[in-house]
Amino acid sequence: MQPPAAWELYAYGLARTLVHSVNRAFWRIKVIGAEKLPNGPYILAPIHRSNLDTLLVASLTTRRLRYMGKDGVWRYKLGGTILSALGGFPVHRGSADREAMRRCNLVLAGGEPLVLFPEGTRKSGPTVEGLFEGAAYIAIKGNVPIVPVGIGGSERAWGKSKKLPRFTKIVILVGDPISPETNGGGRVSRSSLTKLSNELTSALQDLFDQAQGMLGLK
C-alpha cells in the first residue's frame, strides 16, 4: 500500500485539529490512557452509543486514524467530506464486503491505526453485548492488537433518541491492548475468534462502566 500523500496528511491534520477543538469546547472531553496506544498498526475498538463517537476518538492521537464507516454517510456531501478528510472509507453494511476487508488489511499493512466499532451500529443502554466478530477476525489475520475504548457520556450528549445534541462532559478511557493468538497467516479458528471477541467484550464493558461512573451515570 502506498504511503499517504502529503496533502492527505495535511487535510487530516487540519480536520483533526478542528474536531479536537470542538470536542474540547462543546463536550469538555477528558481522555485517560492515551499513552497505551501502540506505535505501530492496531485496531481501535470503541463503544458505540452516539454519532459523536467517530469524532470523539479523533482526540485520542495525532496519528492519522482510518475509519470504516457505513456507506450511507457518503450519500450526504458534508458527512462524507468530513469522514473522508478524517481517513474514512465506506463499507456496505449487511453484505460480505470483500473490498472493505481488503482495505482494512491494507491500512494495517501500511502501519496505520484502524477504527472499527465492534458493536456495528449505535446501541443504547449500559450493557455491551452482541459484538460483531469482524474486528477480532481482522486483528487475527493482520496479527495486530485491539485497543478497547470506553466512552462515557456520549449517549447522554447525543444518543439515538435525541434529535439535537446536549453540550455535556464526555470521558474516554483507553484500555490495554489485547494481542490476538497468531494463526501464521492461515485460517482463523473459531476458538481463537471466540476467545478474542470475549476478551474484547469484557474489556469494553469494564471501560464503559468506569467512564460512565466517572460522570455519575449508570
% of residues, the chain, pLDDT over 90: 66
Residue 184, pLDDT score: 63
Q: Lowest mean pLDDT: which of 33-37, 162-166, 200-204?
A: 162-166
Q: Would you say residue 79 has pLDDT above 80?
A: no
Query: Does pTM top 0.85 for this prediction?
Result: yes
Q: Would you say residue 95 has pLDDT above 60?
A: no
- Domain membership flag for residue 52: yes
Distance CA 23, CA 170 (A): 9
Residue 7, pLDDT score: 83
Distance CA 78, CA 100 (A): 22
CATH number of 166's domain: 3.40.1130.10
The band of 186, judged by pLDDT with boundaries at 50, 70 and 90, is confident
Distance CA 216, CA 160 (A): 20
- Domain membership flag for residue 190: yes
**What is the rounded average pLDDT for all residues in the chain?**
90
pLDDT, greater one: 92 or 127: 127
Coil, strand, or helix at residue 99? helix
- Domain membership flag for residue 82: yes
- Domain membership flag for residue 33: yes
Q: Could you report the per-residue pLDDT of 109-143, keeping only the tens digit for each? A: 999 999 999 998 899 999 998 899 989 999 999 99
Q: Would you say residue 70 has pLDDT above 80?
A: no
Number of domains in the chain: 1
- Domain membership flag for residue 152: yes
Distance CA 216, CA 218 (A): 7
Q: Would you say residue 37 has pLDDT above 60?
A: yes
Residue 98, pLDDT score: 79
Q: Would you say residue 183 has pLDDT above 70?
A: no
Q: Angle at which helices 77-85 and 6-26 pack, to 10 degrees? A: 110
- Domain membership flag for residue 142: yes
Give residues with Cβ within 8 angstroms of 138, minimum separation 6: 43, 101, 104, 105, 108, 114, 116
Residue tagged 498498526 (cell numbers): 41
HSE-CB at 30 with a 13 A cutoff on CA atoms is 11
For residue 65, the enclosing domain spans 6-214
pLDDT, greater one: 53 or 188: 53
Residue 38, Cβ neighbours under 10 Å: how many? Answer: 12
- Domain membership flag for residue 1: no
